[in-house]
Structure 1
Amino acid sequence: IQKFCEDTGLLSDRSNIICISDEAHRTQVNIGSKLKKNASGVYTTFGFAKYLRDSFPNATYCGFTGTPIDETVAVFGPVVDSYTMKESSDDGITVRIAYEPRLARVILSDEQAKEIEKYYEKCVEEGANPEQVEASKRAMSTMSAILGHPERIKKLAADMVAHYEALCAEKPDVVQKAMIVCSDRKNAFQLLKEIETIRPDWRIPRKAEDESKLTREQLDQLVALPKINLVATQGQNDEKELYDTCGTKEYRNMLDKQFKNNDSNFKIAIVVDMWITGFDVPSLTVMYIDKPLQKHTLIQTISRVNRVFDGKDKGLVVDYIGIKNDMMAAVKKYGGPQENPVDELNVSLSIFRNYLSMIDDLLSSFDATLFYHGKPLDRLNCLNDAAEYVQTSKE
């Protein structure tokens, strides 16, 4: 579509032309005008979609998209037919998406949980006027402070490492590519450094985890890289370490190619905005979400893990920020109101097990012998002592 511009003009006024647009929610719906200024003065520009329609004014336009935003319907008209996420997974075109909540493992206090909930309430309607935009910025500033708290980043790193290693242990023969979505580049960089502290071996460049299993031809296709890498653009005001870690456009293109290679040692990508939409890696198995996402961006992001790959029975979305309600709303909007293509892994049971595991950690030094071997009154008293022990430990 980028080949169409104002100079293209009318190519044909025939009415028996059919124009099929993929990803009909980006440049394909960009028909609006913008005012721009240069040395000659102010002028108006239009989007590629407008020039396309100027070239074929009487054509029939058909758009394909997994996330039909309002602009899609406004430009292409109402939905003619839909193929839902559930139908796709039932047909074996994609795998189902499993959801696992782990917010409780990284939140520092009830107050922070309430702040996150408050932020999502403000995001129900995105800012339109200047006052709403400013309110949104203040809310995001508060959210960034919460998500970037050093103690929270440490908890997040430790839990992600443990979770990922357990996942790999379950299916050691399946390539386990993972993506971690962070709220901003600073938090992403801090998370990378905390994970390096826990697993320094993950930051040692190698071509593959076990190069002896690969042929010379396979090794020639690989670049020696750490197991985990940050994928983000450089900022002019970045501190030197962050700036160097982000690297150049050529470096990011190389990371793109290597992450898509199943033999590469590069298994875990930490991202902010890059790679969360329109980036297909079939072996991507798990998506760790630690960034507020809404609407079509959210559904596009979690759909990165539903591609079919040998040995992969599902894609897993691990939630560290509380996206469940937004995710389910997006699934209903874009996947069909009568279906739920997301396996919630018995969400209530999963949440219960998370809390139970945390209590287990708190009770690691508590003597529970009487609960298992004592008389009924002894067991009741042991429960009371355990509750008091946990409360004291929290304080």
Structure 2
Amino acid sequence: MAAGTLAATLDKYSIRESIEDGTTVPLYYQLAPNDLVVDREAMEREFWAAAELEGVADIEEINRVLDRAVTLKNMLKNPDRVDKIARFVAEHFRQYVEPMGYKAFLVGVDREACGLYKEALDRHLPPEMSQVVISRGHNDPPELRRYHLGEEEEARVRKAFRKPDENPKILIVTEKLLTGYDAPILYCMYLDKPMRDHVLLQAIARVNRPYEDEKGRRKTNGLIVDFVGVFDHLERALAFDSEDVEGVVEGLEVLQARFARLMERGRQEYLPLVQGKDGDKAAEAVLEHFRDKEEREGFYAYFRELEEVYEILSPDAFLRPFLEDYQALVKMYRLLRSAYEPHVQVDRSFLRKTAEIVQKHTATPGVKDPTETHVLDGSALLALLAEEKPDTVKVFNLLKALYQLVKARGREEPYLIPIGERAEAIRRAFEARQLSSQEALKELTALVQDLKEAQAQRGQSPLSPKAFAVAWWLRVQKGVGAEKAEALAAQLEPALEAWPHWASSPQQERELRKELYKALAHFGVKDLVAWASELLDLLRRAEL
């Protein structure tokens, strides 16, 4: 085995292993439409048959071979073909890549081809969206010199390309940036330059870096769109046995088959849950079926895999027969996350193309997602109980509303925190089937009544928020009468104001504890240390 081939083989194994350990993402390829792929005979005669290609490990070697492939290079740079490919790239990028929030390389056969592609691409996309990055030549003609970049300008382009939502979004290259340049946001490589072996692996490795950001972009694979047909015979392109090549890069049709299998599983295992049911009845059936956490986690894992494949394939016509059922599974996922994981911003957890489906097609789920949390009060929550909905749906609507209320106002009004903790305990018991829907609803009804009373008392109390939280805790948790609880909390108010940083200052906490002990002792409390510690725990939770 030639040294170059051996090196490529070792690189190939490192790529496959890195996919398994998560340091890179899988690669998929797609052959361009036949009328855009270069003439196969010319490729065979002037590229594949070249003896110098055996175990090639350097891009300069590829360039030397291509310099002698006059007919092939002329075909690749034919003006009509260049314009057609530029139009295809513009449409493909707009439909498949840009909606995901990612970026692309367009790889031309040489520096002249890069200039030709830039001129053609500018006829189909805004000029600022693409940028040529090529090396300089001392004797370059004017049509190439116009694309020369100074060091500072090239550094700026490289940096801007790595940033989401900034131009340029497509870099047009031929050898620069094909090795050593790391831009995880790079998702797609439009390949119009014949390559093989080590050089091909180095080039396609530009698109296999994982990427995730705070806006919900989560890159799960890289894509190569092949205009020269090197992937038409993958074993020859990489000079490995077919067994070795498997798992490094696969055709996009593999994903289509995978999506079809996943959708069949969804149709058999999950969609029957809502068959023949509408609205609240469908929501009830789903929520009841997935009360078991392991069942939910299994569905979440299934849906994430399905969504990732959909993200790659959409908007391919292949998906049309599946769209209605896919939308139903999206709705099911959204309902479950909204009900069982209220801390998760559900819509932001979707990948971008599925998020579009949610915005366009998914109606409000049976479990409400209140946004005006600041107007929620006991009366509004009691109104949820009066709705004509199944008990299971009512339970989750109340739990969701209580969670949102405590999240929005718990720091300002610490008396809400124990109410939220009691609601969370009801949630856990309900999910574990320790409580029936009716029992959970009964406990939540009592909790909401307590909330309504607490809010009414809060409106009448002159105490500060923290002091009122103390008074309410004394009443609810310790059974202290209303008048006595108010008086004790009022006595503590000056101490709470005097040591505002007690939660982060051990010295202030010691001073506050002394005042707590005095006040509690004055009102006849015997277990001073335990009561004081519980009170401070309550107030500390409000600081988190």
Identify the TM-score tier after normalising by the shorter chain: 0.5 to 0.7
1:273 deviates by: 0.7
Are the aligned partners of 2:200 and 2:238 in contact in 1 as well (CA < 8 Å)? Answer: no
Tell me by how many angstroms 1:71 deviates: 6.5
Structure 1 equivalent of residue 421 of structure 2: none
Counterpart CA distance in 1 for 2:18 and 2:67 is: 40
Say whether the 8 Å CA contact 1:332–1:340 is kept in structure 2: no
Distance 1:136 1:230, change over 3 A: closer
Matched with 1:189 is 115
The letter of the residue matching 2:134 is: A
The residue aligned with 2:42 is 115
Aligned 8 A contact 1:177 1:285 in 2: yes
Q: Map 1:48-67 onto structure 2 (within 5 A).
A: none
76, 92, 117: which is aligned to 1:163?
Answer: 92
What is the CA-CA distance between 1:141 and the residue it aligns to?
Answer: 1.5
Give the corresponding residue for 2:501. none
Select 1:259's aligned residue among 135, 157, 161: 161
1:102 and 1:164 map into 2 onto residues whose CA distance is 13
User: 2:5–2:54: 8 Å Cα contact kept in structure 1?
Assistant: no
Any gaps of 5 or more consecutive residues in structure 1?
A: 1-67, 204-225, 351-356, 358-395
Contact 1:228 1:269 in 2 (8 A): yes
Rounded to whole Å, the distance in 2 between the matches of 1:107 and 1:72 is 27
The range that moved more, 337-346 or 292-301, is: 337-346
Question: What is the TM-score normalised by the length of structure 2?
Answer: 0.40
User: In 2, Cα distance between the equivalents of 1:283 and 1:140?
Assistant: 34
Q: Which residue of 2 aligns with 1:126?
A: 53
Q: Counterparts of 1:278 and 1:335 in 2: how far apart (Å)?
A: 27
- Structure-2 residue corresponding to 1:70: 3
Per-residue CA shift, 1:326-380, capped at 9, x if unaligned?
6444657499727332221227989xxxxxx9xxxxxxxxxxxxxxxxxxxxxxx
1:217 is matched with none
- List alignment gaps of at least 5 residues for structure 2: 56-60, 213-217, 258-316, 318-544
- Displacement of 1:105 in angstroms is 3.5
Query: Which whole-Å deviations, capped at 9, do the CAs of 1:78-100 have from their partners, x for residues lacking one?
Result: 98x99543332222221100110
The answer as to whether partners of 2:108 and 2:173 remain within 8 angstroms in 1 is yes
Task: Name the residue aligned to 1:308.
Answer: 210
Shift of 1:280: 0.9
Checking the alignment, whether the CA contact within 8 Å between 2:132 and 2:147 is kept in structure 1 is yes
In the alignment of these two chains, the number of paired residues is 246
Q: Which has the higher contact order (CA 8 A, sep 6+)?
A: 1
Partner SS for 1:255: helix
Question: Which region of structure 1 is more displaced relative to structure 2, 145-154 or 90-99?
Answer: 90-99
Deviations 1:31-87 (A, max 9, x none): xxxxxxxxxxxxxxxxxxxxxxxxxxxxxxxxxxxxx9717979xxx98x9954333
- Whether the aligned pair in 2 keeps the contact of 1:299 and 1:330 (CA below 8 Å) is no
Residue 346 (str. 1) matches residue 215 (str. 2): no
- Give the letter for the 1:198 counterpart: H
- SS state at 1:198 partner: coil
Change (3 A) 1:124 1:99: farther
TM-score by length of 1: 0.54
Query: Are 1:85 and 2:18 matched, yes or no?
Result: no
What is residue 323 of structure 1 aligned with on the other side? 230
Q: Which residue type is aligned with residue 143 of structure 1?
A: L
SS in 2 for 1:100: strand
Please say if residues 131 and 172 of structure 2, whose CA atoms lie closer than 8 Å, have aligned partners that are also in contact: yes
User: In the superposition, relative to structure 1, how do residues 69 and 266 fare at CA in structure 2: closer, same or farther (>3 Å)?
Assistant: farther
Partner of 2:101: 175
Give the distance between the partners of 2:77 and 2:245, measured in 1 at CA. 38
| Counterparts in 2 of 1:321 and 1:242: CA distance versus 1, 3 Å | same
* In 2: Cα distance, 1:140 partner to 1:278 partner: 27
Residues 334, 307 of structure 1: alpha-carbon distance in 2 compared, 3 angstrom cutoff: farther
Matched with 1:95 is 25
Q: Which residue of 2 aligns with 1:275?
A: 177
Give the CA deviation at 1:228: 0.4
State how far apart, in whole Å, the 2-side matches of 1:136 and 1:153 are. 21
Structure number with the higher strand fraction is: 1
Shift of 1:198: 1.9
Paired position in structure 1 for 2:302:
none
Percentage of identical aligned residues: 28
The residue aligned with 1:227 is 129
Aligned equivalents of 2:138 and 2:68: distance in 1?
A: 25
Aligned residue identity for 1:343? E
1:97–1:343 contact (8 Å) kept in structure 2: yes
Please state whether the residue corresponding to 2:132 is helix, strand or coil: strand
Superposition map of 1:230-249 within 5 A = 230-249=132-151
- List structure 1 segments (4+ residues) > 6 angstroms apart after TM superposition: 71-74, 347-350
